[in-house]
Amino acid sequence: MKVSLVKKLSLGFILAVLGSIILASAISNYTVGNKFKDYLVDEHKEKIDNAVKIIDDLYGGQKNFSQINNDEIQRYAELQELYIEIRDLNDNTIYTSGKSYLQHRGMMGNGNMIGPMAGMMRNYSGINMGEYTEENYPLNIDEKEEGKIIVGYFGTSYLSSASVTFISTLNHSFLISAIAALIFGVIISIIISRQISKPLAKITETANEMRKGNLNVKAVVNSSTKEIVELSDSMNYLVESLNSQEMLRKRLTSDMAHELRTPLTTLKTHIEAFADGIWEPNSERFEVFFEEIDRMTKMIDDLRDLSKLEQTSIGLNKSRIDISKELEKIIYTFKPLYSKENYELDTSITPNIVTMIDVDKFKQIITNLLSNSYKYLKPNGKVKVELKNENENVVIKVIDNGIGIPEKDIPYIFERFYRSDLSRNKKTGGSGIGLTITKALVEAHGGNIYLESKINQGTKFTIHFPLNN
């Protein structure tokens, strides 16, 4: 049986609160009970010690016991609810406070007035309320024992009315506090549970919409919980990513259809012309066939290369090289191509930068970038290549003043087969995976590649390689 998050969290909070209340009450009750019992015993002992001291002070130095005024002893006995008796060495009773009020207390202790409270106190402090006890103490006069003092009391003599009231109030306080804490815990648990479950329910609803194929939804949650906000942001990012991937997939299908349709249409047209006798086969027309077939072959090779990059990690054969000299060599091979179209290829290369790198992969990276810039230059175009050491990174920049890339296309320019509308109009446009491969090769070296571009102003590619990777 599945339980909703609200019920599960609420039940968990309530059990935690209830358990805490029971544990805290038990510990507090036990601790206070022991301490209070010790306090009562000490207080009782002090009462008896005071009674003995009063008697010692009254009888001290007196030869005739019958002439002593025992009113102070009587008042103390009644006030402290004690039975006091004084006997001489011959066991004759010299003084007694009388037991009438003690017998009355004993009846009350066994009756209906204090009986329930007495039971509660026995359970609470372990003191017997109804048992009568007598204790004997020596009567010393001038450091000589002249008799004995008998102090009697019921168990209730441990407890004054204030003590009983205190214990009763304390127990009621524990009970009221427990009920109040439980109610408060239930309210807080419900509030917190709803604060957590409500945004999660919204995120779940968004996920269900995504499962149905609706990629235009968005999880909008109002929560101060960091993890829930992060989950919502991740869900929205996932929706945007899937939406972008869906758009790229549709565009890829369209692009591939376009790229394959063009050479196939050309071949079909030429073959129909041959079949109808409109054209005579010659080397020039067969050369067109070859170019179109070669174009499709390159496209298939690009697909295969890209598949290898995506399926397995790129194997690098690194070696320690002077990247400055290597970059100059690559640029030198492009100089004639640029000069043929009256393009300018400038450099600003910091010499003697040495790092670990795969030379062949590095050549492929730079070749792809220079070829890309070459394709989209305008008349009298210019490309500048920079190399420098910056913050423990090898920084390479390829800057051109070509046709640029629309801002809406920049986030997708490294996606496979993605080509902006402007590049699609160029006859020299490639398959659209050259930059995808370039990015994969750069990242395989632990580096990053960045793109900046503006329409009719040009494009700048920036590569960061770790200096010692």
CA distances 348 to 317, 321, 351, 435, Å, are 27, 19, 9, 23
Q: Using CA atoms, how far apart are residues 74 and 71, in angstroms rounded to an integer?
A: 5
The predicted structure's pLDDT at residue 409: 84
Q: Which CATH number fits domain 5-182: 2.40.50, 3.30.450, 3.40.630, 3.30.1490?
A: 3.30.450
The superfamily in CATH containing domain 314-466 is Histidine kinase-like ATPase, C-terminal domain (3.30.565.10)
Query: What tokens appear for 146 in the block?
Result: 């002249």
In this prediction, residue 396 carries a pLDDT of 95
* Model confidence band, residue 397 (pLDDT cutoffs 50, 70, 90): very high
Q: Which two tokens stand for residue 64?
A: 């005739």
Residue with tokens 């800057």: 399
Helix, strand, or coil here: 65? helix
Could you tell me where the DSSP H helices lie in 276-393? 283-311, 323-340, 359-375
CA distance 206 to 131: 75
Taking residues 274-281, report their average pLDDT. 82
- Domain residue spans in the chain? 5-182, 226-309, 314-466
pLDDT band at 383 (very low <50, low <70, confident <90, very high): very high
Report how far residue 323's alpha carbon sits from residue 467's, in angstroms, rounded to the nearest whole number.
10
Reported as a single tens digit per residue, the pLDDT across 137-192 is 888 877 788 788 888 877 654 555 666 677 778 778 878 887 887 888 788 877 87
* Least reliable range by pLDDT among 59-68, 110-119, 272-281: 110-119
398 and 452 Cβ atoms separated by less than 8 Å: no
When pLDDT is averaged across residues 73-95 and rounded to a whole number, the result is: 83
Single-letter residue type at 378: K
pTM comes to 0.48
Predicted pLDDT at 39: 78
Q: What is the CATH number of domain 226-309?
A: 1.10.287
- Whether 5-182 and 314-466 share one fold: the answer is no
Structure tokens that stand for 136 in this block = 């004997």
Task: Provide the pLDDT for residue 116.
Answer: 33
- Per the prediction, the chain carries an average pLDDT of 78
Is pLDDT of 122 > 50? Answer: no
